C-alpha cells in the first residue's frame, strides 16, 4: 500500500513539474513574441517618420527651397514649409505610386494634404485663401491575410502660396506593410538597380501581374499595386515560392 501511495505521489509530483515547466516556457515564448512585436512596431514607426521627414524637408520632395539672395548657388530649405507647386505636381504625377524622392522597398504609403481656410488682414488689404485637399501615393494596399501592419498619423504644415502668404494645413500619412508591398519592393529594387535577385516569397492569395501592376485576387475583390517597371510573371497560387527576379530590356521577369 505504501509503495502504491509513493508511486502515486511521484506521479503527481512529476505532473506538477511538467506543468510548471510548460508555464515557464509559455512565458518565455510570450515575452519573446512581445519583444518581436514591439521591435516590429518601432521599425515601422521609424520608417514612417523617415518618410514624413523626406517628404517635408527635402527639396527633391515637397519642401519649399528658398534661394539665397547673396549666392544663388546656395539654397535653404525651410522645415515643414511645403511648396504649393510641388504639391500640385505630385498629386498629378504620383496618383498611383509613391514618389521616388521618398521611396521604400518594404512599405507602401499614401499621403493626404489639406490646407485650411485662412485670412490675413494687413490693415490695408485682406487676403483670403480657401482650403483644398490633395493626395498622392499608392491607391491600393494589402488586405485580408496579406496585410501585416498599418500606421496612420498626421502633423501640421505650412504651405507657401506666394512670397507673402503661408497657408496652414495638415499632412496625413498612411503607411502599410504587407505581401503586396514587400513583393512590389523586390520588383522596384531590381527595376532601379538592374541587379537580379533571388528571394523566397509567400502569398496568401493568387498573385499575378498586369502590365506595370502586381495584383492579388482576394475572395471579394482584386487588389493591384503599381510598380516602376512592367512585369511579366506566371500566376502564383497561394503558398511559398523561391523566385528569380531579373530585368531585361526595361522589363521585369519573375520566374
Query: Is the pLDDT score of 235 beyond 70?
Result: yes
Whole-number Å distance between alpha carbons of 45 and 149? 11
Query: Band of the pLDDT at 21, cuts 50, 70, 90?
Result: low
* pLDDT band, residue 65 (cuts 50/70/90): confident
pLDDT reported for residue 20: 56
pLDDT tens digits, one per residue of 108-157 = 999 999 988 776 666 666 667 777 899 999 999 999 999 999 999 888 99
Asked if 86 and 93 count as a contact pair (C-beta separation under 8 A), the reply is no
Bridge partner residues of 54 (DSSP): none
Per-residue pLDDT for 177 more than 50?
yes
Average pLDDT over residues 54-66: 89
pLDDT bin (cut points 50, 70, 90) of residue 8 is low
- Copy the grid coordinates of residue 232: 511579366
Query: Rounded mean pLDDT of 212-216?
Result: 96
Neighbours of 252 (CB within 10 A): 23
Checking if the pLDDT of 201 tops 90, the result is: yes
pLDDT of residue 10: 55
Strands of the sheet with 230-233, listed across from one edge: 197-203, 239-248, 251-254, 230-233
Helix, strand, or coil here: 215?
Answer: strand
Q: In the chain, what are the domain boundaries? A: 53-178, 180-254
Strand 126-129 and strand 251-254: the pairing is unpaired
Amino acid at each position: 500500500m505504501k509503495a502504491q501511495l509513493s508511486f502515486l505521489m511521484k506521479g503527481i509530483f512529476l505532473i506538477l513539474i511538467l506543468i510548471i515547466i510548460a508555464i515557464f516556457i509559455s512565458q518565455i515564448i510570450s515575452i519573446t513574441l512581445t519583444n518581436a512585436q514591439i521591435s516590429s512596431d518601432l521599425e515601422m514607426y521609424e520608417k514612417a517618420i523617415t518618410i514624413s521627414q523626406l517628404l517635408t524637408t527635402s527639396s527633391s520632395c515637397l519642401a519649399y527651397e528658398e534661394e539665397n539672395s547673396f549666392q544663388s548657388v546656395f539654397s535653404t530649405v525651410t522645415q515643414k514649409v511645403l511648396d504649393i507647386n510641388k504639391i500640385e505636381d505630385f498629386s498629378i504625377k504620383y496618383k498611383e505610386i509613391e514618389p521616388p524622392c521618398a521611396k521604400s522597398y518594404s512599405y507602401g504609403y499614401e499621403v493626404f494634404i489639406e490646407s485650411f481656410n485662412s485670412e490675413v488682414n494687413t490693415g490695408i488689404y485682406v487676403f483670403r485663401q480657401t482650403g483644398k485637399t490633395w493626395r498622392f501615393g499608392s491607391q491600393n494596399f494589402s488586405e485580408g491575410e496579406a496585410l501585416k501592419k498599418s500606421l496612420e498619423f498626421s502633423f501640421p504644415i505650412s504651405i507657401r502660396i506666394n512670397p507673402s502668404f503661408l497657408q496652414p494645413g495638415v499632412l496625413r500619412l498612411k503607411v502599410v506593410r504587407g505581401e503586396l508591398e514587400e513583393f512590389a519592393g523586390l520588383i522596384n529594387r531590381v527595376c532601379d538597380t538592374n541587379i537580379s535577385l533571388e528571394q523566397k516569397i509567400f502569398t496568401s492569395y493568387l498573385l499575378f501581374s498586369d502590365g506595370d501592376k502586381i495584383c492579388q485576387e482576394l475572395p471579394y475583390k482584386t487588389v493591384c499595386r503599381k510598380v516602376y517597371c512592367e512585369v511579366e510573371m506566371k500566376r502564383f497560387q497561394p503558398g511559398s515560392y523561391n523566385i528569380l527576379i531579373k530585368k531585361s530590356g526595361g522589363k521585369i521577369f519573375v520566374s
